[in-house]
A and B are shown apart, each in its own frame.
Chain A
Amino acid sequence: MPQFVVLWTDALILLLVVLALGFARYAAGRPHLRGPWRRVVRSRVGMGTLVVLGFYLVVGLLDSVHFYPPASDDDISGQSAPGEVMSLFDSLVPELRMRRETTYSAPLATHLYAKETIELGDGTATRGFARLKFGGAHLTDPAVEKTGDLIRLSLSGLLKGVAFSLVVGNLILMFLAVRAGNSFGTQAKHVLSGRTEVPWRVVLSTLGLMFVLIFWSAELASKYHLLGTDKVGEDVFYQSLKSIRTGLVIGTLTTLVMLPVAVLLGIMAGYFRGWVDDVIQYVYTTLNSIPGVLLIAAAILMLQIYMSNHENEFNSLVERADLRLLFLCIILGITSWTGLCRLLRGEALKLREMEYVQAATAFGVGHLRIIVRHILPNVLHIVLIAVVLDFSGLVLAEAVLSYVNIGVDPTMDSWGNMINSARLEMAREPVVWWSLAAAMLFMFTLVLCANLFSDVVRDAFDPRLRDSR
């Protein structure tokens, strides 16, 4: 039985998942919230991006279950050094994690990227490209066999992917047919001709595409380094996948931190007006006039000093990195609540003059109840839109902050750190481009999907667009 470790961010992610489920339950009972979501679900772009985001989410969640691997399990291979925390995701892809080269190698390479002195069997040394320890190690003569091997692996990956997609697709179709009370054939016809309310055709094709991609990369990654290795020989593909969690944590936990503050203060300022409004406005204009990066740098540097002074308080490197990540979320939250707060203040100013609020006052309903019953439900859609829109901005912010070294811990995998290290690699001759490219690719996909999705959400919640559709 592995010993589970709950890191701070893990706990908060759990909390977030619980909150999201709770909100879903709440929204399901309320047509004014259910309606727009139904519109999201019926949008092709919305569903397509949702599927892609779903894969990111699965990786992120798998990566958020941490434990000490049981010592008895695999101690012969020495898979993990004692005391090192692993995540569920790590244990699913041990090869990716453990196959470490000595230094840079290009994607799908069999040899190192730079010449180095190789000691030959007879004791003499020569300069050349050394064979990789793992990448393409099964080949005897890479120059001859590599192309054929790659094609074979690709084909088998693609085939497996297609087969798996077909199985899953048919299962979904079967489920849909049973639910709609149709025969399988008619249901399939409906779905494939795009006549269902929820665009299942898009869902199925996106799913299929993702499965094919996954199987293809899994097949290749089992024998090669799909996206090459970095300076210390770590697999870049693995790093990119691990970075997903960092990105998601920054994008979601930050909003969790800032949301209560922004919502409470914003509504209070707008509802009570007078001196309450003055104080809150004063606070956020002051905060807004301090450059955010400066504030973040100061906080992170202070945290760094604290951590180096109290090193023995942390059980592992992972815990330390995690604490820094959490602080980054908090400080990002502190600098980013003002926008939403200002928005909500304006909305509350408008709502407090609404006649139903006055009617409530005329009944002698207390302030707290008015806020909870009348104001809050009517600004919820704004909060939702803000959260979804902020997400991609925060993911990008992490990359920028890590680039200037005030982001997440350098030992933590993140796209920002990958890009940061690429700074040196780009100056090398020949150029090492794959770290940067991989980080960009993964981040781009996530941010693009999040942006498209948030557009759909915003449109669905925007009452002005509702009638023109």
Chain B
Amino acid sequence: MSDALPLLRIRNLTTHLGSRQRPVRAVAGLDLDICQGETFALLGESGCGKSMAALSVMRLLPPSGRIVDGDILFGGSSLIDLEEREMRRLRGGRMGMIFQEPMTSLNAVLTIGDQIGEAVSLRDPGSRGKVRQRVMELLRAVGIPDPERRTNEYPHQLSGGMKQRVMIAIALAGRPELLIADEPTTALDVTIQAQVLSLLKDLQRRTGMAVLLITHDLGVVSQVADRVAVMYAGQIIEMTDRQRFFDQPTHPYSQKLFHSLPGREKQGSRLDVIKGSVPPLDQEFTRCRFLERCERAGEACTERAPVWQATGTRSGVRCLLIGQAQDADGHRAHRSPAVMQSRVTEDPPLLKVNDLRVHFPIHRGLLRRVVGYVKAVDGIDLSIYKGRTLALVGESGCGKTTAGKAILQLVKPTSGSALFGGHDLVKLRAAKLRRQRADLQIIFQDPVASMNPRMLVGDIVAEGLRAQMGEGKGAVLRERVLALLNQVGLPGDAVDRYPHEFSGGQRQRICIARALAVDPGFIVCDEPTSALDVSVQAQILNLLKDLQDQQGLSYLFITHNISVVSYLAHEVAVMYLGRIVEYGTVDEVLGAPRHPYTRALLSAVPTIDARDRREVIKLEGDMPSPANPPAGCHFHPRCPHAFERCLSHYPEPVKLSATRTVSCFVVEAERETRLQ
């Protein structure tokens, strides 16, 4: 240790949850140091104990949790045996915390000025005027425009990104030396995430505070972290500085994490997956915790648990294989020859969507009169071909999910048509539509919410079969269900179990099996992997890809995750405020984006490759409300290139190639100058 004591030093922190007889060992012997002014990222999948570690530091564990062992030194003094009264002064003072969900962290009935003011007057009590002045200062510090007006607003009047800024302002009120940020951007869109991350970085530069950043997102880590610690099953398995971590991850788990990330260069090949899932933490580990999922595990790994091996002053790894030779490449990608066939344009599209609109009426007043419409989907055209994937990309609230549901008639479209197999789905009668539904299926984002918790998995999978083919014979039905479960890689005994007995990835498999049951030709995948961990996401993406190859399925893949798009999709449609702004093949749109929004969106996506750091095009403000879209081009208030015409007219789609259209006056003008 070269310098003085670090700001936060954790030694052998052990936190247990639940009963004493069979505790869940959420944190098992955590050691880490965080220095002044440093951003320390704690990276890990869900359930690996990273949040519990942070809550232990704040001593805010849930009632069933307790710190069993270890010491936490903050600025030289131990927090473990500090009195609750002292601890309270520390929390929100020298130690601030922000949480993942800004919606639930703010009190809905107090103005944000009051809420920040509360924190301010607690920390530096003074006259009202002074408090107000400090509130303004804080609001300005977190980059909230027009703070005088904003102080009097209520949380519901602010967007998600704004709320997270307010949360940061509250945390800053105590002038913290350490800010614990628990997944601060997970609930936010990429463009907003970029804003919040650069704000955090900026504040850190100005105030010199240390940040403990808890995240599961490698991209976020690469953007802001100085040091990285990877947590797995309650332990830190690798700790190093960012550069080394991204250049040369040492632990097999870290390596796997990188390889399982989808991306463009992996298109056409299978993703590397980490098999299985995190082991349950209610056991005593005598062997390596990663053993069952590790491909390189050898004899030694089964015999003892690996100990921490320092590889530098503040870095190390917990693996017995360190120093042993490994495959030259490190990742044994099963590269199959790229099977990207070019589109056979003569084929008519499987599904053709024309000018689809979904407007939700806004009722107001005593008589519930319609005073306006939320134009969730405002005239979109899509064509989806057999065996191909169209990705619908956009930020939350742009209407992409509504569009997917409207195509399936789960939401009644206001106008437009969706031609499938010679029928217009919009105009089909109920009975006929019910039969047609077998061809069109949907997979939802949240596998927990998309299965009835009261039903057996067998019944869930068989539901579609029963609805489409009648009750049928029990034995035949069961056989078919077993075949389906087998197809998605689940054991047959899953039939008689309940959904809650399965992990997130397995549940998503069940959902896929359920959709496949009725033999559909077209599946809407509504963010099917965004609730899953990276390693599990790769399993699901592989499965979807295999199914497409084997059965010629077509997907409408709704997502905000660009890397998934670049891996899986053939065509991309970028949506903004109910309309498609750019549409083309994946190479065209992601390779050379033309629409200013697409460009900003792509630049905001954090990349894990530090050398490939792009200039982030910062978008000002948030997406406007679809109830009251801006006149002219919907994007013009945030567009850096907007000119006069954008304020009054909505640009017509410009055809740039056989497959590509862009709706932008700038692009149109450029093309015209080139043509002339």
Chain A interface residues toward B at CB < 8 A: 30-32, 354-356, 358-366, 369, 373-374, 377-378, 467-469
Q: Would you give 25 A-B contacts (Cβ < 8 Å), ordered by A?
A: A31-B498, A32-B454, A32-B498, A354-B450, A356-B450, A356-B451, A358-B405, A358-B444, A359-B450, A359-B463, A359-B514, A362-B410, A362-B441, A362-B442, A363-B438, A363-B463, A363-B467, A364-B435, A364-B438, A364-B467, A373-B463, A377-B452, A468-B62, A468-B63, A469-B64
A353 — nearest CB in chain B belongs to which residue?
A: B449
Q: For window 478-505 of chain B, which residues contact chain A by CB distance below 8 Å? A: 498
User: Within 8 Å of chain A (Cβ to Cβ): is B446?
Assistant: yes
A30 to B496, CA, bound (A): 11
Q: A354, A360, A378, A467: which contacts B64 (Cβ < 8 A)?
A: A467
* Chain B residues near A467 (CB-CB < 8 A): 62, 64
* Chain A residues near B450 (CB-CB < 8 A): 354-356, 358-359
Instruction: Give the distance to chain B from A11, nearest Cβ to Cβ, in Å.
Output: 32
Q: For window 439-478 of chain B, which residues contact chain A by CB distance below 8 Å? A: 440-442, 444-446, 449-455, 460, 463-464, 466-468
* Chain B residues near A469 (CB-CB < 8 A): 64
Q: A31, A356, A361, A362: which contacts B452 (Cβ < 8 A)?
A: A356
Besides the contacts A363-B518, A364-B468, A365-B467, what 9 more A-B pairs have beta carbons closer than 8 Å?
A32-B454, A358-B450, A359-B442, A360-B467, A362-B437, A363-B437, A363-B467, A374-B452, A377-B452
Chain B interface residues toward A at CB < 8 A: 62-64, 405, 408, 410, 433-435, 437-438, 440-442, 444-446, 449-455, 460, 463-464, 466-468, 498, 511, 514-515, 518
Q: Do the beta carbons of B408 and A362 come within 8 Å of each other? A: yes
A360 to B449, CA, bound (A): 13
* Chain A residues near B453 (CB-CB < 8 A): 32, 378
Q: A32, A358, A360, A364: which contacts B433 (Cβ < 8 A)?
A: A364
Instruction: Give the distance to chain A from B674, nearest Cβ to Cβ, in Å.
Output: 46
* Chain A residues near B445 (CB-CB < 8 A): 355
B448 — nearest CB in chain A belongs to which residue?
A: A355
A32 to B452, CA, bound (A): 11
Instruction: Give the distance to chain B from A28, nearest Cβ to Cβ, in Å.
Output: 15
The winner among B405, B460, B467, B468 for most chain A CB atoms within 10 A is: B467
A246 to B628, CA, bound (A): 62
Instruction: Give the distance to chain A from B604, nearest Cβ to Cβ, in Å.
Output: 28
* Chain A residues near B64 (CB-CB < 8 A): 467-469
* Chain B residues near A358 (CB-CB < 8 A): 405, 410, 442, 444, 450
* Chain A residues near B62 (CB-CB < 8 A): 467-468
A48 to B452, CA, bound (A): 35
A467 to B65, CA, bound (A): 11
* Chain A residues near B515 (CB-CB < 8 A): 359
* Chain B residues near A355 (CB-CB < 8 A): 444-446, 449-450
Q: Do the beta carbons of B410 and A364 come within 8 Å of each other? A: no
Instruction: Give the distance to chain B from A423, nearest Cβ to Cβ, in Å.
Output: 47
A314 to B409, CA, bound (A): 60
Q: Do the beta carbons of B468 and A363 come within 8 Å of each other? A: yes
Q: In the A-B complex, list the 10 residue pairs whose CB atoms are closest, starting with the nearest.
A: A364-B434, A355-B450, A363-B464, A377-B454, A364-B437, A355-B444, A365-B467, A363-B467, A356-B452, A355-B449
A272 to B60, CA, bound (A): 43
* Chain A residues near B441 (CB-CB < 8 A): 362
* Chain B residues near A359 (CB-CB < 8 A): 442, 444, 450, 463, 511, 514-515
A164 to B455, CA, bound (A): 46
A373 to B437, CA, bound (A): 19
Instruction: Give the distance to chain B from A62, nearest Cβ to Cβ, in Å.
Output: 37
Q: Do the beta carbons of A373 and B467 come within 8 Å of each other? A: no
Instruction: Give the distance to chain A from B60, nearest Cβ to Cβ, in Å.
Output: 14
* Chain A residues near B464 (CB-CB < 8 A): 363
Q: B410, B444, B514: which contacts A361 (Cβ < 8 A)?
A: B410
* Chain B residues near A30 (CB-CB < 8 A): 454
Q: B405, B452, B514, B518: which contacts A373 (Cβ < 8 A)?
A: B452
* Chain A residues near B498 (CB-CB < 8 A): 31-32
A440 to B463, CA, bound (A): 54
A361 — nearest CB in chain B belongs to which residue?
A: B410
A358 — nearest CB in chain B belongs to which residue?
A: B410
* Chain B residues near A363 (CB-CB < 8 A): 437-438, 463-464, 467-468, 518
A359-B442, A360-B463 known; A378 vs B454 contact (CB < 8 Å): yes
* Chain B residues near A373 (CB-CB < 8 A): 452, 455, 463
A351 — nearest CB in chain B belongs to which residue?
A: B452
A232 to B437, CA, bound (A): 75
A365 — nearest CB in chain B belongs to which residue?
A: B467
Q: Do the beta carbons of B454 and A354 come within 8 Å of each other? A: no
Instruction: Give the distance to chain B from A356, nearest Cβ to Cβ, in Å.
Output: 5
* Chain B residues near A361 (CB-CB < 8 A): 410
* Chain A residues near B435 (CB-CB < 8 A): 364
A354 — nearest CB in chain B belongs to which residue?
A: B449
Q: A31, A32, A365: which contacts B463 (Cβ < 8 A)?
A: A365
* Chain A residues near B438 (CB-CB < 8 A): 363-364
A467 to B498, CA, bound (A): 19
A31 to B497, CA, bound (A): 10
* Chain B residues near A356 (CB-CB < 8 A): 449-452, 460
The winner among A358, A360, A369 for most chain B CB atoms within 10 A is: A358
B434 — nearest CB in chain A belongs to which residue?
A: A364
A373 to B453, CA, bound (A): 11
A377 to B454, CA, bound (A): 7
A356 to B447, CA, bound (A): 9
A366 to B437, CA, bound (A): 12
Instruction: Give the distance to chain A from B413, nearest Cβ to Cβ, in Å.
Output: 15
A366 to B460, CA, bound (A): 15
* Chain A residues near B449 (CB-CB < 8 A): 354-356
A358-B444, A364-B468, A468-B63 known; A378 vs B452 contact (CB < 8 Å): yes
A354-B449, A356-B449, A468-B64 known; A362 vs B440 contact (CB < 8 Å): yes
Instruction: Give the distance to chain A from B46, nearest Cβ to Cβ, in Å.
Output: 16
A468 to B64, CA, bound (A): 6
A30 to B459, CA, bound (A): 13
The winner among A363, A364, A366 for most chain B CB atoms within 10 A is: A363
A468 — nearest CB in chain B belongs to which residue?
A: B63
* Chain A residues near B440 (CB-CB < 8 A): 362
A360 to B455, CA, bound (A): 13
Instruction: Give the distance to chain A from B213, nearest Cβ to Cβ, in Å.
Output: 26
Instruction: Give the distance to chain A from B441, nearest Cβ to Cβ, in Å.
Output: 6
B436 — nearest CB in chain A belongs to which residue?
A: A364
* Chain B residues near A374 (CB-CB < 8 A): 452
* Chain A residues near B467 (CB-CB < 8 A): 360, 363-366, 369
Instruction: Give the distance to chain B from A188, nearest Cβ to Cβ, in Å.
Output: 23
A90 to B463, CA, bound (A): 54
A378 to B455, CA, bound (A): 10
A356 to B78, CA, bound (A): 49
Instruction: Give the distance to chain A from B467, nearest Cβ to Cβ, in Å.
Output: 4
B499 — nearest CB in chain A belongs to which residue?
A: A356
The winner among B441, B445, B449 for most chain A CB atoms within 10 A is: B449
A360 to B511, CA, bound (A): 12
B465 — nearest CB in chain A belongs to which residue?
A: A363
Instruction: Give the distance to chain B from A190, nearest Cβ to Cβ, in Å.
Output: 16
B408 — nearest CB in chain A belongs to which residue?
A: A362
A31 — nearest CB in chain B belongs to which residue?
A: B498
* Chain B residues near A362 (CB-CB < 8 A): 408, 410, 437, 440-442
A461 to B444, CA, bound (A): 27
A59 to B458, CA, bound (A): 45
Instruction: Give the distance to chain A from B376, nearest Cβ to Cβ, in Å.
Output: 15
The winner among A362, A467, A468 for most chain B CB atoms within 10 A is: A362
A30 to B497, CA, bound (A): 11
A356 to B515, CA, bound (A): 12
Instruction: Give the distance to chain B from A351, nearest Cβ to Cβ, in Å.
Output: 9
A369 — nearest CB in chain B belongs to which residue?
A: B467
The winner among A30, A354, A468 for most chain B CB atoms within 10 A is: A354
* Chain B residues near A468 (CB-CB < 8 A): 62-64
A30 to B511, CA, bound (A): 21
A378 to B445, CA, bound (A): 21
* Chain A residues near B63 (CB-CB < 8 A): 468
